[in-house]
Amino acid sequence: MKMIFHRDTQRHDFLNATPVAMRKMIVSPDLKEVPDWGKAQATAAVPQAAATRKGEAGAHHLLLLKDPHAIVNSEVADPFADVVTASVFAKKDDIGYALEYCGDKDPVKVSVAIRGMSEGKRISINGLPVKAHPDPIVTVPGCGLVRAAISLNDLPIAAGTYSFVVKLEDGVQSYNLTQDFKIE
């Protein structure tokens, strides 16, 4: 049985708009140094970010979450440090996902699928591809955070074990990430 579902685009579009809105808020994008009048304030107000690890090219670290916003992309900490993937969801839950993309392409194309067995029938539910703008990770230079969510309640599946598959295409290469989960 093949099904096509639509993702929660309102939430996803908001996530895509955030990096663009942030770029538009920058008044002086060519500024290379803090002006003298701002040095005392800048030093006290913003902690210095230090790279915690070097990201390898490609898509990595697929995490399933009940709330994809539980991952905090801060200037001082690796957003993937100490985050544990969820493996059990209720039918009424949203299933959120987050992954790391290291590369220079923006936007990237992301599609998700859920595969498994439901009530003795093979299930393959494929989402439509969408454009995603990776949110830059300050502590992992050259990498970005991609995240979104879909509602399990809207899908024709029952309790069981499934695979959540994310395909990310950056125009040069395609990456497939998979994480198993259960619906109780």
Q: Which CATH number belongs to the domain containing residue 177 in this structure?
A: 2.60.40.10
**Assigned domain for 6 exists:** yes
Nearest to 108 by CA among 140, 133, 145: 133
8-state DSSP, 68: G
Note whether 175 and 132 are within 8 A (CB): no
**Assigned domain for 39 exists:** no
**How far is residue 18's CA from residue 6's CA, in Å, rounded to a whole number?**
21
User: Other CB atoms closer than 10 Å to residue 23's CB: what's the count?
Assistant: 10
Q: Work out the percent of the chain whose per-residue pLDDT is above 70.
A: 74
**Assigned domain for 127 exists:** yes
pLDDT in tens, 109-132: 999 999 998 888 899 999 999 999
Domain that holds residue 64: 2-14+57-183
Number of domains in the chain: 1
**Assigned domain for 43 exists:** no
User: Other CB atoms closer than 10 Å to residue 4's CB: what's the count?
Assistant: 9
**pTM of the full predicted structure?**
0.70
> What's the mean per-residue pLDDT of the chain?
83
Point out the least confidently predicted range of 64-78, 103-117, 132-146: 64-78
pLDDT in tens, 84-112: 899 999 999 999 999 999 999 999 999 99
